[in-house]
Structure 1
């Protein structure tokens, strides 16, 4: 990719190349029609401002044979008597006698036109019509009569001489003009010239009959050239100002050509090297004026340059009888402007590429953008993601063949295409109808071959941009406590990613390949305003990411950010330092690999955490210590990054963007110290009591008054108390270890009453909306139970939420707490609607996921309480409400057994 900074502009090559091209086209005559159009238009406007006086009058002779010898001599006498400067015939009056020709020779101002025709063998040579016999031997002036060829049917030029049998002979117009000047040496004649039609319609046309009769004003012909002629071709001649019906006759055209020469009003033309220099100047001017301009400004400048060129050409033609080839010059301006616009477009593309490169570089340096992967690498990433987090067994991707119903297997994992039944290669198959109709994943039964009890198949339609492009069939291992339908949002997200990848790859293959651009030779202008703005935008973006990086680095908690696929995106300084101290790699690891290492190489536990985050979209916490820093305790928090503004997926909570892992040090937490202090006090009291009993029994054994039977009982008591003390010391080691906190163990001595009061306080606003109050009947002592603190809080929360949702307005929820020696029972009741017992039992035991959040929490709580060694009993009566009994083990079990 070309960089703006490395592009050079060929200042000379561009304008000179355009100028040379236009010059060659002009000299070859390929632009004659274009130049002729501009010339004719300009001449029309120039004729309106012309103030020239005609130097020629013409007399039209319809039939020269009817002009008698006497009339011809009398015509010359009349014209000479009126002081005509030259009399020119565009024909030779063959019917006249030798007397007429002798008289004409005597006058020395009479010119005869001899018709010239091209020699067939050599078109560049001409031959003349012979003199009549009566005119031979006389010193008569003559000139050749011949019309210069037209340009696209329009006669604009006339010759001054012809090659007559190897000798240059003057044309009639040139000969007559030279005679009128008397001194011919001071007027060099060009081979051809542009006829000046600016006095169009002003040359007098005299009637031959009236002239012969001497009915003539002498001022009409005094010091003027009189052209007497006919049109031997009998055709009209189209000129710049006379077209179609108004076309000229031959004698009229010759009159204008004769006037052009006689009045010294030949229209000069820009030719040769001078033309090339002017075109080069025009192209350079166009290039220079467009250097620091944008696209629309270049168009406006081009318009102004063309208008200026046309006005200059018009002014030179009108007042200086000089013509610039406006068509060629305007075409040069247009071509150069087009190249400048192409150059600006090239600059814009280069600037955009530069912006993209700088932006990506800045983000990669500061944020760590992931590199693009090949199509095969993407599928490997998908398989690795599913295998790490969900124990992927196999999958197959079936792509739709065009618009047909046929499916073609294209991607496989742990599966062969010949193992797929033929009916599954038809999009209209019955097994696909539900998934296609719902546009969401559905459960399937052993499509990918025999399956074990803990494996589940899913059919996922691949839809992108509203089009069904295939089917994805995947087999995953069932997850404990997670119904298969809970996986639908995640599979829908993956289906969308697969469909987009397939669609993008197909579009890329079908994209036409274009050739190399013709404007690659154009270079850049680093001071271009657009480029400068893009550079400033890039720098602002870099500064924005730099601020975000500073904020992220100043977070004191070790934090890891992963994308949806579990790839590491960012790691802050505390996290990097922690990993370096533990000799763990600081880059290129996945969320699964990090969690597996943190959780003491327990891959199943790491997979459970990620499943909870990706499926439930809730946070997961674990207490842990690093392998090399066992004296420090950390709380691992893993939670998802969800973008609720994305709307292209069916499930709003499927819009997960990434995963965040935090390591919070919990070594010196006040809550942990307080809990351990309470446990220590309790165990200390029990230990003191048992040691006191041992001391008393020992004193009794030393007494002589103790009977033998009593000594046996005392020995048994001492042995029992010693065993109890050993058990208490074990409890101390278990609950007072430095590595123990409220989340690291499934069971921990917890003040259940405090936890219950906290949950009630949090739910009081919700209950108050319906006028519901909490009534707690509890003992005035600490109720320490063995439970998991987080799960116990969730259990109380689920029970109370269910009772609030069911309770009647302005009622009470009663909570009774009874100490039963080794256990404590929490009884929750309300006055509400309730439900039938069989419905309640189906909800709590059905394998499907309950629609109610409260029942889902209760079902999980049932499993938790059973793991703690407790029990939960839920009863409901229609019209009365719920009665829930929760029985937990007390921590005082050791002392009471003693």
Structure 2
């Protein structure tokens, strides 16, 4: 007993291990990335109010101001420094500015500029755009920017760095966050397996941008207002001032998880601001590496398996639904309060697969036990009926003699319909044999057998070979338990055929059909091995257990009715 219980437990652990490995492999190769991102979008739309005040001030400038030179950008830089801005971040490289502007930015020490990437249209190689001559002389702080990564058109992440020509360059947001927080380099997760294996420069590392309600809380100012003296110190103190171009109405923005909730698309500048604020407010979403994810799935699946052992098969679905809900609530809480993204989709898929395996295992186990019980019960009933007697040659010799004398028959043969074969098999004959039936007329799917499946028929065309005597031949189906067990072929002289002859044939056909059935069941049992397993499969090949049990009960009922 204890051995069987341990086998059940080991089987469950094996199922859990296989499922955990399979789901982890799917996650590693980003097969279910679309579902994972869809769940992330829902969590972003269901976010609570921001827990920390935004630390980024977005200054939006018209695109045409990019070439206005020192008159605009040097003045703006001096104003921001005068108002005690903790940091100034340009998401572009201002044009037509003097060396004085860049050297002033270097002197302040808290000003950062963006350097864009350039891709070769022929071979797709990536390189950095050259710095302006005036900027090169001043050794300014430069971070790299590029179009944010997307999955199926939805932008959710931002790069932490770029690897170009074997050298790593920090992204603009990461460089600014390091200065703002005074922290070492951020350790960001590697990108997905497919992107990483492809070795694209842009996919060096990424972090998830925390949107939530930050977009509504993000302070924004127009460039014109600041240049006109409309900036107060309280708005910029202890904040990173990010300067970017406003999005023209005719230019489409970026689709983010907030697009469905706000029904708007955001500009590149707004995306940079949200990405930087994510790093500054410690809102960066951390994900589990592939090893930790595998261990988490395995632990959850093993725990779930032992829970399934305590519940019935009818309650397993409700338990699965409850656990999926628990996973969802837990993942949502961990996401919003600990900024940790659990592999929710992987957890749900793994739980569903474990439920399916457990359900199939329990069904097969219950079905096997039921079939064993039916087989044993049927055999016990067969033993009470003494089926062995129906398989003896002596019994059938007495039967054919009794039929011959009672009905005044000339010849007769009893044929068995063997399961798995369409050809007749002789049980017993008198004054004839199976050889008297043409081989082509021994097929049960052909006439006259197909015609005689309902009742006894008078054969217009002889089935047995003709003799010198004038005979009439009949074909009688032998039924038991609603199924044809065989056929009875007989020949009688017309002068000896008395009234109600066909009715008498039907009366004899019923017990004959039962006898043929018991004979067949006994032969199946004697051919099977002594082991329970082989006995079960041999019996199964002969008939379905519940049908066999039903026929055994029917036989007992007939015995009782006679008594």
Tell me the TM-score range normalised by the shorter chain.
0.7 to 0.9
Q: CA deviation at 1:17?
A: 2.0
| Alpha-carbon distance between aligned partners in 1 of 2:145 and 2:179, rounded to the nearest angstrom | 17
What is the aligned partner in structure 2 of residue 167 from structure 1?
167
**Within the alignment, does 1:92 sit opposite 2:93 as a pair?**
yes
Return the match for 2:227 from 187, 192, 212: 212
Q: Of residues 224, 246, 257 in structure 2, which corresponds to 1:240?
A: 257
After TM superposition, give the deviation of residue 257 of structure 1 in Å: 0.7
After TM superposition, the score normalised by the length of structure 2 is 0.73
- Residue 352 of structure 1 is matched in structure 2 by 370
| Contact kept in structure 2, 1:267 and 1:323, CA below 8 Å | yes
Runs of 5+ unmatched residues, structure 1: 400-407, 505-540, 542-562, 570-639, 645-655, 661-898
User: Unpaired segments of 5 or more residues in structure 2?
Assistant: 189-204, 522-548
* Deviation (angstroms), 1:491: 4.4
Shift of residue 184, structure 1, vs aligned partner: 3.2
Q: What's the offset of the Cα at 1:495?
A: 8.4
- Whether 1:41 and 2:42 are equivalent positions in the alignment is yes
| Cα deviation digits, residues 149-188 of structure 1 (max 9, x gap) | 323332222222222433322111011112222x334x64
Contact 1:396 1:415 (C-alpha < 8 Å) held by counterparts: no
SS in 1 for 2:387: coil
SS at match of 1:335: helix
1:475 aligned to 2:491? yes
Counterpart of 2:26 in structure 1 is: 25
Residue 450, structure 1, aligned to residue 467, structure 2: yes
Are the equivalent residues in 1 in contact too, given 2:414–2:486 (CA < 8 A)? no
In the other structure, the counterpart of 1:193 is 207
Cα distance change, pair 389–6 in 1 and its aligned pair in 2 (3 A)? farther
| Residues 121-270 of structure 1 mapped to structure 2, 5 A cutoff | 126-181=126-181, 183-185=182-184, 188-190=186-188, 191-198=205-212, 199-230=214-245, 236-242=253-259, 246-270=264-288
1:487 alignment partner, one of 496, 504, 523 = 504
Inter-partner Cα distance in structure 2 for 1:4 and 1:370: 35
Written as runs of structure 1 = structure 2, the 5 A alignment for 1:684-703 is: none
With over 3 angstroms needed to count, the CA separation of the structure-2 counterparts of 1:451 and 1:352, relative to structure 1, is farther
Q: Report Cα offsets for 1:461-496 as digits up to 9, x if no partner.
A: 689999999986412699999974562332453687
- Residue 320 (structure 2) aligns with: 302
TM-superposed deviation, 1:333: 1.0
Q: Output the CA distance in 2 between the equivalents of 1:67 and 1:41.
A: 43
Partner in structure 2 of residue 336 of structure 1: 354
Question: Does the 8 A contact of 1:195 with 1:267 survive in 2?
Answer: yes
- For this pair of structures, how many residues does the alignment match? 491
Aligned mates of 1:372, 1:43 — CA distance in 2: 78
Describe the superposition over 1:2-45 as per-residue Cα deviations: whole angstroms up to 9, x where unpaired.
Answer: x9799654243221222122222212222222221212212221
State the distance in 2 between where 1:177 and 1:98 align: 26
Determine the structure 2 residue equivalent to 1:822. Answer: none
2:67–2:94 contact (8 Å) kept in structure 1: no
Partners of 2:453 and 2:179 lie apart in 1 by 103
* Mapping for residues 348-427 of structure 1, pairs under 5 Å: 348-360=366-378, 362-363=380-381, 367=384, 370=387, 384=397, 386-391=399-404, 393-395=411-413, 410=424, 413=429, 414-415=432-433
Confirm or deny: 8 A CA contact 1:461 1:468 kept in the other structure. yes
1-structure distance, mates of 2:484, 2:386: 31
Contact 1:59 1:208 in 2 (8 A): yes
Once the two structures are TM-superposed, the CA of residue 145 in structure 1 deviates from its matched residue by 0.7
1:472/1:308 CA distance change after superposition, 3 Å: same
Q: Distance in 2 between matches of 1:445 and 1:31?
A: 70
Give the 3 Å change call, closer, same or farther, for CA 485–340 of structure 1 in structure 2: closer
Distance 1:349 1:148 in 2: 56
Residue deviations 1:220-272 (CA, integer Å, cap 9, x gap): 32221111123899653222222596222211111111001122221111223
Q: Secondary structure at the match of 2:368?
A: helix
Q: Residue 71 of structure 1 corresponds to which residue in structure 2?
A: 72
Q: Deviations over 1:376-409 (max 9, x none)?
A: x79x89964641321362348799xxxxxxxx98
State the distance in 2 between where 1:456 and 1:345 align: 55
Q: Distance in 2 between matches of 1:285 and 1:458?
A: 69
Q: Where in structure 2 are the equivalents of 1:593-632 lying within 5 Å?
A: none
Aligned 8 A contact 1:441 1:461 in 2: no
Map residues 774-793 of structure 1 onto 2, 5 A cutoff.
none
Contact 1:397 1:410 survives alignment (8 Å)? yes
2:102 corresponds to 1:105: no
Q: Which residue of 1 aligns with 2:201?
A: none
Q: Secondary structure at the match of 2:53?
A: coil
Q: For the Cα contact (< 8 Å) 2:247–2:267, is it kept in 1? A: no
Superimposed CA distance per residue, residues 720-768 of structure 1 (whole angstroms, 9 cap, x where no aligned partner): xxxxxxxxxxxxxxxxxxxxxxxxxxxxxxxxxxxxxxxxxxxxxxxxx
Preserved CA contact (<8 Å) 1:441 1:492:
no
Distance in 2 (alpha carbons) for counterparts of 1:173 and 1:14? 45
Higher relative contact order (CA 8 A, sep 6+): 2
Paired position in structure 1 for 2:525: none
Match of residue 307, structure 2, among 267, 285, 289: 289
CA 1:359–1:643: 2 relative to 1, 3 Å = closer
RMSD value, Cα: 4.7
Distance 1:482 1:300 in 2: 68
Instruction: Classify 1:224/1:381 alpha carbon distance in 2 versus 1 (closer, same or farther; 3 Å).
Output: farther
Secondary structure of the residue aligned to 1:184 is coil
